[in-house]
Structure 1
């Protein structure tokens, strides 16, 4: 038998991964990883197979661990609706909190949305979670009361996380609970117009994730295995890892500005952490905190993926535009690419074979990353806006130009050489146009899917997790 310091599971929709780490002096060392197909009918089978495969990799017989941790995306992400007051203020803040927690935000509702339409949205989506924000502390209360009544009228079966004006929360809770709605109160996500308080609401979303995924077969058994009784959403773990690596801990400095690109079969996720923004004064933040002024920011492009969403890439950029990324052209090749992405949509488990499929995958990856980055980043203004004080050439939105490190993760990178992986990202950054993208950053490939493990370990062992991350990603 071998004893390790940490075992970290990740239960995905397709594969269950398992990574092992051991302590060597004051540092954690990566021991090895394995994976096994996720068994949807009973997830515990996949867990046991991943553990058995790791024992074979290490050649050491049974494994025991001092700490066992876990993340999961097997539930597909919780369906979430964010409700707030003003679209550009608390409704937007609610969305950012939800995105940072790894939930699937299906709709953003503001006080300007007609009541009948709000009701229709809630009845159609049937969200697992409603994040109810609205009003800074001491500010608006009516939007919270009205939205609470709409939620009751919709007979929502999900939980409502009350994260608005703290002076209104008790009455909002009373309205919801009188209608049989389950609630949880957390501090206001936007206590002032200059401040976004993410962590309490994010933790509440993670707790709800734990509660709901244990309904799936076998995931209750996973919860029994983990040491801290937590199973956090995988995207949330990745963002927490990026925050830790960029910002550090009180005992250890981080690496400063950081960009993470997670290219999957269904989505392309982009996480950016810019610690320097934490030092901005209220005047520098502007009247209302916005994307470009948040320390952490995550976007998810649901129509840009290399398998389930491959058609979205071609629909967005055009077949000829995708082929141009790898120096190809021609009507016949365009038809073949279109046929290929339609095939991938119906057969998402397909592994590319042959030179043409490999080239098509490369072209799709370059295009997806370029599109996702340009949606995530800001741009250089092209015209005058006297109201906003914008002149041509001034930066608008999230400025990534000074980011010096980009970490990439995804199946295409796990199966390609590091040189090939870096080439994909370099080509995606090659034509920024007016977008505020990084200039010639270091590109680091997370071939062993370590980011999610760093986020999981960081929950209770931040310094250990940071030392591990610095060893791999510095």
Structure 2
């Protein structure tokens, strides 16, 4: 007999409307605990008709793709999730979902203009407000600009922004510069069509807020948020970030047909995939490495979301308009990017370039050969490597936690290929808890955690959120005093007192089993010239969680030699054929 649930059980339906695919996730209680039950799929139909229904998006209606994904999900679980009119049967049927919510990541980036006083204060804060949204900053104005008024007006008009963010001055601080910006915006308004004037978000000196709203309210839709810099030593981004997210959400709803229907069907519970991923990354980082560094990347078709920091409470985030499909357009004519993909794949630059153009035009195509699979994995590795370098200013960061998501991982022919793609992209140093989203459900988990804390706790113990592996990645000194073939000794002690040991062999991938839900004590004694994250020759002892592939010891070196990047068949043979 199963124990009774301690919480009131509710079924949750979640949508993720991406650039190429729309997914519907069903979360429900199974044997007393919340689990991801099933996933429904459909091509995304949010874009205007392209003249060929075979392309999978003939409707130009975001809700149509969500409805199709719901139909697929209903077939899988045998529940009536839609009523006779094709609307969600939320809370109307005893066996149906009680709550629905949606996430989106398919739209064009919002064009933003930032206006502040000092680049190092108000403008830096505004950059952080927009950094983790789907935004392209097209122009920046500061009080130290040397341009004359006419040039500034021309710059603003030609930027043609969707949103203008205005901040500066502490409370009780500077006012004149902010009022000058308001005058500049009033001048620019006469050059922009009424229907295409930008939203204005003011998050500066509170004493000027009413004057700004009064001067600009006749010309623009104006939102006011708390000052991002109420004092020189205090930064308060939360209210401005929340207001900006709301502006972007409404901008997308106005721009893309059917998204308003998604908003209505979910009773206003529409957020962005990046926000759900951010919440999930914060929770998982704090859970697996509460005092260690971490990095999370969601590599989508149009965007890549990057989240990193030395501790869970001290992180930075940004959305980059680069991806594995629509987001490739920015890199098609970048010879350095093509060359790096070539190095990761072992294929000629001309072949790489042809693949990039094809993938940019047809982002939802699947690899149909070993060559195409190698190119897609190499492309993901190169995108990840670029973000690693930009975030950490090194190619081999010391990471205690890493989270990766994207179609290249969900569609991997075997989790071992997903593991290799993650390792070749990140190239972490030390002991890393590596979580790879093999179902795509992690952003939905992040949103669900805000709605139902009990569900989040239950799901933390599910296989969908279990680490793919705990990875041990040593590096060593080279030269005359370099190390030999043996890098050190490693022992894994299980909770029942049993233990397994291995000798770390240079150039190999090695494994010790540790199943999800179990915990082990990892003891590593490196040779004098070997570093496993604590310094050369310094031993490490750390408690680690179980993973789908256990503990993987990557003895190939850091940074990885070029031949290691291309010989995936060799490395796959060293990894387990079945999961723990």
Question: Does residue 334 of structure 1 match 2:344?
Answer: no
Q: Which residue of 1 aligns with 2:143?
A: 111
Q: Which residue of 1 aligns with 2:422?
A: 425
- C-alpha spacing 1:343/1:101, structure 2 compared with 1 (3 Å): closer
Q: Distance in 2 between matches of 1:324 and 1:405?
A: 26
Post-superposition offset of 1:310: 6.4
Question: Does residue 452 of structure 1 match 2:440?
Answer: no
Q: Which residue of 2 aligns with 1:127?
A: 161
- Larger-gyration structure (1/2): 2
Q: Distance in 2 between matches of 1:141 and 1:154?
A: 20
Say whether the 8 Å CA contact 1:13–1:74 is kept in structure 2.
yes
Match of 2:214 among 171, 174, 177: 174
Question: Does residue 44 of structure 1 match 2:63?
Answer: yes
What is the DSSP-based 3-state SS (H/G/I as helix, E as strand, rest coil) of the residue aligned with 2:334? helix
Post-superposition offset of 1:77: 3.6
Match of 1:72 among 91, 98, 104: 104
Aligned pairs for 1:66-105 within 5 A? 66-105=98-137
Say whether the 8 Å CA contact 1:241–1:451 is kept in structure 2.
yes
Say whether the 8 Å CA contact 2:325–2:361 is kept in structure 1.
no
Post-superposition offset of 1:267: 3.4
Structure of higher RCO (CA pairs closer than 8 Å, 6+ residues apart): 1
Q: Distance in 2 between matches of 1:363 and 1:462?
A: 38
Match of 2:246 among 185, 204, 207: 207
Q: Which residue of 2 aligns with 1:272?
A: 308
Q: Which residue of 1 aligns with 2:225?
A: 186
- C-alpha spacing 1:75/1:185, structure 2 compared with 1 (3 Å): same
What is the DSSP-based 3-state SS (H/G/I as helix, E as strand, rest coil) of the residue aligned with 1:232? strand
Say whether the 8 Å CA contact 2:400–2:431 is kept in structure 1.
yes
Question: Does residue 219 of structure 1 match 2:259?
Answer: yes
| Bigger mean CA offset, 300-309 vs 65-74 | 300-309
Post-superposition offset of 1:223: 1.4
Q: Distance in 1 between matches of 2:108 and 2:445?
A: 21
Q: Distance in 1 between matches of 2:121 and 2:20?
A: 37
Question: Does residue 242 of structure 1 match 2:281?
Answer: yes
Question: Does residue 59 of structure 1 match 2:72?
Answer: no
Say whether the 8 Å CA contact 1:246–1:273 is kept in structure 2.
no
What is the DSSP-based 3-state SS (H/G/I as helix, E as strand, rest coil) of the residue aligned with 2:425? helix
Q: Which residue of 2 aligns with 1:30?
A: 36
Post-superposition offset of 1:319: 3.8
Q: Which residue of 1 aligns with 2:382?
A: 367
Post-superposition offset of 1:466: 5.4
Post-superposition offset of 1:54: 0.5
Structure 1 gaps, min length 5: 279-294, 381-399, 431-436
RMSD: 3.0
- C-alpha spacing 1:175/1:195, structure 2 compared with 1 (3 Å): same
| Bigger mean CA offset, 349-358 vs 66-75 | 349-358
- C-alpha spacing 1:191/1:338, structure 2 compared with 1 (3 Å): same
Post-superposition offset of 1:313: 6.9
- C-alpha spacing 1:122/1:13, structure 2 compared with 1 (3 Å): farther
Q: Distance in 1 between matches of 2:15 and 2:270?
A: 9
Post-superposition offset of 1:314: 7.2
Say whether the 8 Å CA contact 1:263–1:410 is kept in structure 2.
yes
- C-alpha spacing 1:167/1:379, structure 2 compared with 1 (3 Å): farther
Q: Which residue of 2 aligns with 1:281?
A: none
Question: Does residue 13 of structure 1 match 2:19?
Answer: yes
| Bigger mean CA offset, 26-35 vs 157-166 | 26-35
Q: Distance in 2 between matches of 1:313 and 1:257?
A: 33
Q: Distance in 1 between matches of 2:182 and 2:330?
A: 39
Q: Which residue of 2 aligns with 1:282?
A: none
Q: Distance in 2 between matches of 1:245 and 1:8?
A: 20
- C-alpha spacing 1:75/1:121, structure 2 compared with 1 (3 Å): farther
Post-superposition offset of 1:181: 1.7
Structure 2 gaps, min length 5: 1-8, 47-59, 83-95, 468-580
Post-superposition offset of 1:188: 1.2
What is the DSSP-based 3-state SS (H/G/I as helix, E as strand, rest coil) of the residue aligned with 1:266? coil
Say whether the 8 Å CA contact 1:266–1:305 is kept in structure 2.
yes
Say whether the 8 Å CA contact 1:18–1:51 is kept in structure 2.
yes
Question: Does residue 300 of structure 1 match 2:326?
Answer: no
Residues 116-160 of structure 1 deviation map (CA, whole Å, 9 limit, x = unaligned): 454334323432222211123333223322222222222162221
Q: Distance in 2 between matches of 1:96 and 1:469?
A: 29
Q: Scaled by the length of structure 1, what TM-score is found?
A: 0.79
What is the DSSP-based 3-state SS (H/G/I as helix, E as strand, rest coil) of the residue aligned with 1:322? helix
Aligned pairs for 1:400-419 within 5 A? 401=397, 403-416=399-412, 417-419=414-416
